Amino acid sequence: MEFDLLVIGSGLAGLYTALQFGDRGRVGLVTKRGLTDGATALAQGGIAAVTSPDDDVRLHAQDTIRAGAGLCHEDIVAAVVREGPRRVAELAQLGVEFTKEQNGDYDLSIEGGHSRRRILHAADLTGKAIEEALIDTLNRRPNVDIFEHHLALDLIVTAENGGRRCQGAYLLSEATGEILPVRAPATVLATGGAGKVYLITSNPDVCTGDGIATAWRAGAAVANMEFFQFHPTCLFRPGAKTLPERSFLLSESLRGEGAVLLNREGERFMLRYHPEAELAPRDVVARAIDQEMKQAGTDHVFLDATGLGKEKLETRFPYIFGECLGYGIDLASEPAPVAPSAHYCCGGVLTDEHGRTGIPGLYAVGEVACTGLHGANRLASNSLLEAAVFAKRAADAAAEDIPGLPAPAKPPPWNGAGGCDLEPVVVAHDWYLVRRTMRDFVGIVRSDPRLEMAGERLATIHRNVDKTFAAARPNYDLAELRNIVTVAQLIVRSGQARPESRGLHFNVDHAETDGGCAHDTILTYDNEAPIRYN
Ligand code: SIN
C-alpha cells in the first residue's frame, strides 16, 4: 500500500489533518480500533478560543502562559490563540453544533486558569460532536482511504545522507495478526495520549502512547514527558470490585458553573489553597485534592454540584448527569465522590511550529506532540484547540515537503519479532506492573528515591518485554505493552532530569522552582535506532 500522506490516529488531530490536506494527494488514515474509540469522542469540556467581544487573544495567551509555569513557547502560544478562532469557525461550518444562547451567541463556559468565558462546547459531549462532523465530511472525500483496527507497530525509517527519513509504517492487523508495510513520503502521528501508563486514568483503552514510543524508537526527540496532567475530578466509585476501564470524568465546566470541592469534613478546602479556589490551574487543584486525601487518610473528596440545580444539570450537562444517575449518584441532590486520575500528556514528540519532527517525512499533531504550547501544565480545553491549529499547519507543511521527498523505496517485510505464541498472562502481568509502578512512584507528588525505584523496575520490565517481543508473534497487547513501558521510562527519565518542582512535576526533594531549570526536557534515543531497510 502506498499513499502520499499516511495519518495514524482518528481523533480530532488525525481526522482534521486528513481533511486539511484536501485534494493534494492520496491519504491513508489508519486507526488501531474503531474511528471513534479515542479520547476526542469523550472530550466533555470543549475547545478554548476567543470568540466573544469581551475577550482578547492576548488574554488567552496570558492565561495559557500562566498555566504553563514558565515553559510555554510564547511564539507558539501567540500563533495558536490567533489561528484558533478561524479553525473553530471552520469546524462549525463542517457541521459541529456548538451550543448557543437564545440570542444566537455561543454559550461559552469557563474552566480552571481561564480569565474569561471562552470555551465553546456542544452540551457536555463536545468531542463526540466534533468527531461525527469530521467523519461525516471525510467519508465524502474520495482521496481518503480509512483503515480501522490496524496498529502502527513501528515506523519505516531509512538512513539517508547521514540522517534518517520516515517512509511510512508497519501496521499490525487486529483481525489477522498480519504485518503490512504502508509506504508514504509523509507520515503524521496523531495517536493521542498515554493515560494507560497509569493504573487510574480518564483515558480510553487506546491511549497507550503508541506514537511517542514508535517515534522514540525511530530516533525522534521527545520533550517534557515529566508533565503528566491529572484531572482533579474523576468519579470515584467506592466499593467497585474491579478497576474501571477508565475513570468517568466530571468535567471542569461543572466547577466553572459553580460546583465546589469538599473534603471529608464537608469543608470547601480550595479556598485555603488558591485565590481562584476551584478554578485555579489544574495542577494546583489536583495537588490540593491529593493533600486533602492524604491528610484525611481517604481515597476521595467530593464535588458538590447541587448548587447548579436540577434543570441546569439536565440541560447543560445531560451526559454527565445521566451517567452519574447510572452509578447511583444524583448530582442534583448529593455531592459525588471524586479523585484525580491521569488525564493528559503535556510532553510528546518534539515538533517545530509546523508539526515537523526532527525526522524528515515525520510529523506529529495533537496530544502525541510537544509543540511548546502547554509548557509545564496545559490550560484546560487548549488541547482540542492545539490539535485543530496544528492539523492545518502539519497538513500544509507535508504538502509543501512532499515534492522534495523522493518516493519511498520498497520496504522489506517486517522482521522485528519471532514466531512463538504468546503467554497472555505474562503480558497482562507486565501491563499491571508498569501501571502500578507509575501510580505508586510517579504520581501527582514525586520524590527522588521513588523516581529511582520506578526507573529500576521499569528497566527490568522493559528487558523482559524486549525478550518476549523478540521471541513472539506480536499482538495488540504485547505491542501496547512495549509502548507503555517505553513511555513510562521516558516520564521517569524526564522527571529525573528536572531537579525542581514546576507545573505538573512536583518533587518533594526539590520543592522549589529553580530558575536554572526554565527549559524543556529534551530526550533523544542515543543508541542506534532501528533502521528497517536501505
Ligand atoms: C474537562 O471537561 O474537564 C476536560 C477538559 C480538558 O481536559 O481540557
pLDDT digit of tens for each residue in the chain (534 aa)?
899 999 999 999 999 999 999 999 999 999 999 999 999 999 999 999 999 999 999 999 999 999 999 999 999 999 999 999 999 999 999 999 999 999 999 999 999 999 999 999 999 999 999 999 999 999 999 999 999 999 999 999 988 777 889 999 999 999 999 999 999 999 999 999 999 999 999 999 999 999 999 999 999 999 999 999 999 999 997 655 555 556 899 999 999 999 999 999 999 999 999 999 999 999 999 999 999 999 999 999 999 999 999 999 999 999 999 999 999 999 999 999 999 999 999 999 999 999 999 999 999 999 999 999 999 999 999 999 999 999 999 999 999 999 998 777 788 777 666 778 888 898 999 999 999 999 999 999 999 999 999 999 999 999 999 999 888 888 999 999 999 999 999 999 999 999 999 999 999 999 999 999 999 999 987 644 443 332
At 363-396, the pLDDT tens digits run 999 999 999 999 999 999 999 999 999 999 999 9
Q: Is the CB of 44 under 6 A from ligand 1?
A: yes
- 232-342 has which fold? Flavocytochrome C3; Chain A, domain 1 (3.90.700)
Which residue is associated with the grid cell 499482538?
475
Q: Where in the chain is the domain with CATH 1.20.58.100?
A: 424-523
**Ligand 1 center–CA 482 separation, angstroms:** 28
Q: Which protein residue's CA is at the shortest distance from atom 4 of ligand 1?
A: 45
Calculate the alpha carbon distances from 479 to 21, 132, 173, 210, 241 in Å.
29, 29, 12, 9, 28
The CATH number for 424-523, chosen from 1.20.1630.10, 3.40.50.300, 1.20.58.100, 2.60.40.10, is 1.20.58.100
For residue 291, the one-letter residue type is: Q
Nearest CA among 482, 230, 218, 210 for reference residue 367: 210
**Ligand 1 center–CA 461 separation, angstroms:** 32
- What's the pTM? 0.96
**Ligand 1 center–CA 251 separation, angstroms:** 6
Q: What values do phi and psi take at 402, rounded to 5?
A: -55, -45
What pLDDT does residue 133 have? 98
- Which residues, at least 6 apart from 170, have a Cβ–Cβ distance to it below 8 Å? 152, 153, 154, 155, 156, 179, 180, 181, 182, 411, 414, 416, 532
Looking at the CA of residue 45, tell me the nearest atom of ligand 1: 2
Looking at the CA of residue 384, tell me the nearest atom of ligand 1: 8
**Ligand 1 center–CA 381 separation, angstroms:** 6
> How big is the CA angle at 68 (ends 63 and 72), to the nearest 5 degrees?
100
Q: Is the CB of 45 under 6 A from ligand 1?
A: yes
Q: Is the CB of 383 under 6 A from ligand 1?
A: yes
Q: What values do phi and psi take at 463, rounded to 5?
A: -60, -45
Is residue 222 a contact partner of residue 490, using CB atoms and an 8 Å limit?
yes
Q: Which protein residue's CA is at the shortest distance from atom 5 of ligand 1?
A: 45
What pLDDT does residue 526 have? 61
Is residue 71 a contact partner of residue 518, using CB atoms and an 8 Å limit?
yes
d(CA 151, CA 480) in angstroms, rounded, equals 9
**Ligand 1 center–CA 178 separation, angstroms:** 37
Q: Is the CB of 251 under 6 A from ligand 1?
A: yes
Q: Is the CB of 381 under 6 A from ligand 1?
A: yes
d(CA 226, CA 492) in angstroms, rounded, equals 7
Q: Is the CB of 252 under 6 A from ligand 1?
A: yes
Q: Where in the chain is the domain with CATH 3.90.700.10?
A: 232-342
**Ligand 1 center–CA 534 separation, angstroms:** 44
Q: Which protein residue's CA is at the shortest distance from atom 8 of ligand 1?
A: 381
Looking at the CA of residue 250, tell me the nearest atom of ligand 1: 3
Is residue 167 a contact partner of residue 428, using CB atoms and an 8 Å limit?
no
Looking at the CA of residue 383, tell me the nearest atom of ligand 1: 8
Which residue is associated with the grid cell 520490565?
461
Q: Which residues form the catalytic set?
A: 282
Q: Is the CB of 380 under 6 A from ligand 1?
A: yes
